[in-house]
Amino acid sequence: MFKIIRRIDKFLLFLVALAILGSAIGCEWFPESTFDLASESRLPKWITLPPGLTRADVSITMSYYVKPWGRTSTFVLKDSKGQVRTKLYGKDRGLGPNLLKHPPPGFPPGYPAYEVITVNGITDIIEHRKMEPIFYITDDPAVWNELGVTQK
């Protein structure tokens, strides 16, 4: 009986260690959530189009990750054939999405929500307008000001 309990304890300890290791590594296969950049939105400041491609030729996917040392984002730029052309990693500010003190009318409760993300020293603000797998980039000076970010 005690041998079975010891085996179960070792197995549980192994599973816990595996889970901690997986979250510490930041397993890229398990994002917290994933979104596509709206086709009418501009590209984030840190993304440069590869030569020969236009905005209409590319799509961008953003995935959020929650790690023990903070929140991060990954941005993947793909061409019209689905080939990955650029992959960038960003640092998200804070513990969760930012909401405005006085949100504009016409949005569902809890929206718009904003993420302040920095990639390679360049900061941009992501906007989520409603619960959907789409994100936008905002240039609204009032939003930048309220979130305490200097617009460059």
Q: Are residues 6 and 78 in the same domain?
A: no
Whole-number Å distance between alpha carbons of 13 and 8 = 8
Tell me the pLDDT tens digit for each residue of 119-150.
Answer: 999 999 999 999 999 999 999 999 999 999 98
Is 67 found in the same domain as 42? Answer: yes
Q: Is residue 151 part of a domain?
A: no
Residues 38 and 75 in one domain: yes
Distances from the Cα of 69 to the Cα of 90, 114, 118, angstroms: 13, 20, 16
Q: What is the largest CA-CA distance in the chain?
A: 69
Number of other residues whose CB lies within 10 A of the CB of residue 18: 10
Res. 40 pLDDT band, cuts 50 70 90? very high
Residue 93 lies in a domain: yes
Tally of structural domains, the chain: 2
Q: Are residues 83 and 41 in the same domain?
A: yes
Range of the domain at 15: 1-27
Is 142 found in the same domain as 69? yes
pLDDT confidence of residue 126: 98
Residue 36 near residue 60, CB atoms below 8 Å:
yes
